[in-house]
Amino acid sequence: MSSKQEISDFDKGNEICKCQKKLCYQCYYTRVFKNETIHIQKFKEENREIATRQLKFNSMLQDAQSQLNMMQEEINLIFTNVKDVIKSLSDYFSSGDMSFQKFLNKNEKFMKFSTTELNFQKDFLERNKFVEQTKSKEILASLIEKAGIIFEKIIQNAYKANYLIEQIQEYYINEKIEEKIEENIEVSEGLLGYRNRLIKKQFNLLTQKNGDQVFIKDGQLLGILQKNMGSVTGQVRHNLEKIKYLQFQGQFGIKGYRIKQWIYYWKGLQVGGGYYNLLGQKEGEWVDLTGNYWDFRKIVEKGSYKQGKRVGVWYIHMNNQVMIGGSYDEKGNGLKNGKWTDIAEGYQQHQELTYNGEYLKGKKIGQWVIKFRDQNIGGGSYDDKNKGIKTGKWIEISDNFNNLTQILYNGEYINGIKVGRWDSWINGQFKDQKYYKFGGGSYDNKCWGLKTGYWVEKLDGFSLYNNLISNGQYKIGKKFGKWEIRLRNEVIGAGFYDSRNFGIKVGNWVETNNQYSHRSEITYLGEYWNGRKVGRWKTNYQKNQVGGGSFDKGGNEVKIGKWIEIHDGYRWDSYVTSNGEYKNGKKFGFWDIKFMNKSIGGGLYHEGIKNGIWIDIVEGFRDDLQITYSGMYKQDRKVGKWDTKYRNYYLYPFQLIGTGLYDEEGKGMKIGNWVEISDNYERGQEVIYSGKYENGKKVGNWDILFHQFETMKIGGGRYDEGGNGIKIGNWIDISDTFGTGYNQSQVIYHGEYSNGKKVGRWDIKYRIYNNDSFLTMGGGCYDEGGQGLKNGFWIEINDGFQDGNQITFNGEYIKGKKVGRWDIKFSKYISAPFLLIGGGSYDEECRGLKIGKWIDIQKGISIYNEVIFEGVYKNGIKTGRWLEISIISNEVLSDIQYDD
């Protein structure tokens, strides 16, 4: 094309040649490659249109800026005027008040009154002026209150508008960065409630482009952690119970900060919260939930914040008891100082552990004591140089220390590093309460903290009745040579660690799973190569093969080919397996779920993702707990209708007991009407809930049903219609252990909720059998202000209240804290009278702390265990000599000494 010829078109090129060419009229009609072209005139028109749109958009932004400036001037004018008017009214009424005050001051000097003052006195006595001014003040106060509400709504809407604009800014300014971030799904591990304990479970964590984290388990949405700008969720990622049931309600301010009042809800019931300042910092009185909070460990901490830092005394509320935690420095650094009682960061129901000692500027110093159920079981010293380093002789507890697994380790620290001999001990408990040594070994003496020589260690699942240990040699902190696995001194497994590359498994191994016990004798047999499983592996139960499959031979530990996998808890009454095929480490094709070698469920996988029609089974499926869930998966998410079926014996047919819908978009979110079973559904505890979901939240009326021989309504109430899942109005709640089985009882609570908080009168009722009427056993009143605080006289019952174990606690509350004398009463049977067996006093400063002489009980009393404890409390802590006494014989069973 000649440079003098007029351009008519642009050649856009093609996939092979990305370059664009200018074309004249002649070139356009004679070119060899007929690629897509753009006519020059159309090109100019499109450019003009783009330029016009840009001008309009820029003009709109400028208009918006001008409008905001004008609004700001108007708002300033309005607020200035309102302040001036209120000041004027204040001055006017203050002058009248001063006249009244002068009259009152001179009331006894009647002869000195002027004529004007006498006239004022006359008006005052006739109540004309006084009544008139009082009425004016009442009307004015009402109008100002209404104006305040209007202004508050204006501020709230302004914050909402601000939040919207910030979200737009976040979206467009970070658009290029977010385009590079793809949605990511990872398989993670967390703790999920099962019966009365938390167990480790895998779940899918989806991180979206906007930073939100979506938690999905078995195709169902557990919860979403939103990425709110400038705010911290405070949730613990690995506590899936919090993800499921903990909700927050409050207002966002500038930069996404949480501001003003925020409320924490657990299953629709208000459990905590407090106030944020305008910079998103906690301020004033707060109720914080501990990181390990869940249904069977509801521990909260109460105290004050100053600019986001804890200050002053903080209290710990645990198991319906209050204790002083300790104090934070008053300078606002959030550092612990002085004597403290720390709570162990465990999740188990019976993990009643505390650490007691002293802090200096946030670091532990001096002697610290570890207590279990108020009794000293361990401890040691920290250095006095404020480094928080352990030193000298120590007795420590195991990570999973609880009622049935009381394991201690004792040995020596030098500069915070273990040295020399360390021994492992377990409590005989029901035998003689003594600790028995079962293992241990040595650390190097060069203060490297490395294990050396022969060691005997506990394995996962170790307990008093399940002495599962491994023994072998360490070198430079790594295992080497032959290691054996033993149960009650019988070798049940073994294998070798590399003698050169320490700590790496090699050759043939026989291993146990972390649930191995005399009821679930599961072993895995196969070969390791360079620390990775390779080739054929067998799964044995009581030395008979029940499953297995192959790993790739390349050392990647990738499952391939056909597999039979056993389910968690596989044992004599739970022969459950999944049978199918792996391809490159991912499940594909049809997988069959079998119980006692008969198909009970299953469905299709595609590259490890569930799709199509499935039948899932309940966690812990066994002889007397047989529940299935059937419905459709779409890309590993539940969609559409899902049915729940149940049978209480494997020879019986399944019966439909529940049903409901998941959204069709694949979010795993419940919608519409649902009939669903309780988390603890089993024989004797067959509780069903019936109601409506909107966007995964309960709304409107919900009924609580109990199914045993026949279905009967036992409770229920309403959730708010705003989709917050908050209880409102009249409710009948049931106890966590409602049922007819072992350690279960039929207890209900009847009263009213206001915005998730209990208000007014609540009654506690109980019955023994299904056909019995509920009898009122206790209750009391909550404040009417919606704070959920108990007030006045209360009768409370013990956990596990049932025939043969009926205990009541009788006394007074003031603003949610026990005060004065409280009595403990016990009745053996429903028809027997309650007899006084103990009690004592709480402090009068409304801290809820036990003080002085007490006759107490420990975790309950029954016809099989009629024992009391007598001694003295000081600020909620047992001190001095305590006696364990039999109620029947009045015999002293034990004499326990606590620190003074």
pLDDT, tens digit (0-9, with 9 covering 90-100), for 752-809 = 999 899 999 999 999 988 888 999 999 999 998 878 899 999 999 988 888 888 999 9
Question: Residue 322 phi/psi, 5° resolution?
Answer: -120, 135
Q: Is the pLDDT of residue 834 over 50?
A: yes
User: Quick one: average pLDDT of 648-670?
Assistant: 91
Domain boundary among 111, 126, 141: 126
Query: Where do the H-state alpha helices sit in 374-516?
Result: none
Instruction: Tell me the average pLDDT of the chain.
Output: 85
Asked if residue 707 is part of any domain, the answer here is no
Cα separation, 708 vs 847, whole angstroms: 44
Say whether both 45 and 101 belong to one domain.
Answer: yes
Angle of helix 128-173 relative to helix 40-105, nearest 10 degrees, comes to 150
Neighbour order of strands in the sheet with 184-194:
184-194, 197-207, 213-217, 220-225
Cα separation, 811 vs 841, whole angstroms: 9
Domain boundary among 126, 153, 186: 126
**What is the sign, positive or negative, of the torsion defined by CA atoms of 728, 729, 735, 740?**
negative
User: Quick one: average pLDDT of 735-753?
Assistant: 89
CB 345 within 8 A of CB 291: yes
SS3 percent helix, strand, coil of the chain, rounded to 5, is 15, 50, 30
Least confident segment among 79-93, 529-543, 646-660:
79-93
Q: Give the number of domains in the chain.
A: 3
CB 215 within 8 A of CB 221: yes
Q: Is the pLDDT of residue 605 over 60?
A: yes
Say whether both 844 and 884 belong to one domain.
Answer: yes
Q: What is 54-79 written as a DSSP string?
A: HHHHHHHHHHHHHHHHHHHHHHHHHH
Domain boundary among 67, 95, 126: 126
Say whether both 70 and 24 belong to one domain.
Answer: no
Cα separation, 276 vs 120, whole angstroms: 49
Share of the chain above pLDDT 90, in %: 46
Asked if residue 88 is part of any domain, the answer here is yes
576, with CB counted inside 10 A (0-12, 13-18, 19+), is buried
Say whether both 831 and 888 belong to one domain.
Answer: yes
723, with CB counted inside 10 A (0-12, 13-18, 19+), is middle
**Is residue 596 helix, strand or coil?**
coil
Angle of helix 115-125 relative to helix 40-105, nearest 10 degrees, comes to 110
CA 380 → CA 417, 421, 497, 801, distances in Å?
Answer: 13, 16, 35, 39
Q: Is the pLDDT of residue 268 over 70?
A: yes
Identify the pLDDT of residue 229. 46
Give the pLDDT confidence of 392-414 residue by residue, as tens digits: 999 999 988 877 788 999 999 99
Asked if residue 55 is part of any domain, the answer here is yes
Asked if residue 644 is part of any domain, the answer here is no
Residue type, 242: K
Q: Is the pLDDT of residue 875 over 90?
A: no
Asked if residue 834 is part of any domain, the answer here is yes
CA 592 → CA 203, 514, 599, 809, distances in Å?
Answer: 21, 25, 7, 53
Asked if residue 483 is part of any domain, the answer here is no
Identify the pLDDT of residue 233. 45
CA 880 → CA 325, 537, 870, 884, distances in Å?
Answer: 20, 59, 11, 13
Q: Of 622, 684, 677, which is closest to residue 655 (Cα–Cα)? A: 677
Identify the pLDDT of residue 847. 86
Give the pLDDT confidence of 163-213 residue by residue, as tens digits: 777 777 666 665 544 455 566 777 888 888 877 777 788 888 887 777 778
CB 567 within 8 A of CB 620: no
Identify the pLDDT of residue 699. 96
Give the pLDDT confidence of 449-508 residue by residue, as tens digits: 999 999 999 998 888 778 899 999 999 999 999 999 999 889 999 999 998 888 899 999
CB 715 within 8 A of CB 734: yes
User: What is the extent of the structural domain holding 25?
Assistant: 7-35
Least confident segment among 233-247, 716-730, 755-769, 808-822:
233-247
Least confident segment among 26-35, 138-147, 330-339, 620-629:
26-35
Asked if residue 24 is part of any domain, the answer here is yes
Q: DSSP code of 111?
A: G
The confidence band for 16, taking pLDDT boundaries of 50, 70 and 90, is very low
Identify the pLDDT of residue 228. 61
CB 834 within 8 A of CB 801: no
The confidence band for 882, taking pLDDT boundaries of 50, 70 and 90, is very high
Q: Is the pLDDT of residue 111 over 80?
A: no
Q: Of 600, 601, 594, 534, which is closest to residue 570 (Cα–Cα)? A: 594
Identify the pLDDT of residue 121. 60
Asked if residue 607 is part of any domain, the answer here is no
Which regions of 277-373 does DSSP assign to beta strands (E)?
282-289, 300-306, 309-318, 321-328, 336-343, 353-360, 363-372
User: Quick one: average pLDDT of 57-81?
Assistant: 79
User: Quick one: average pLDDT of 548-563?
Assistant: 94
Say whether both 59 and 76 belong to one domain.
Answer: yes
The confidence band for 37, taking pLDDT boundaries of 50, 70 and 90, is low
The confidence band for 722, taking pLDDT boundaries of 50, 70 and 90, is confident
Identify the pLDDT of residue 123. 62
Structure tokens at 317: 């509320």
Least confident segment among 21-30, 742-751, 761-770, 820-829:
21-30
pTM of the entire predicted model: 0.79
Place of tokens 């990305």: 18
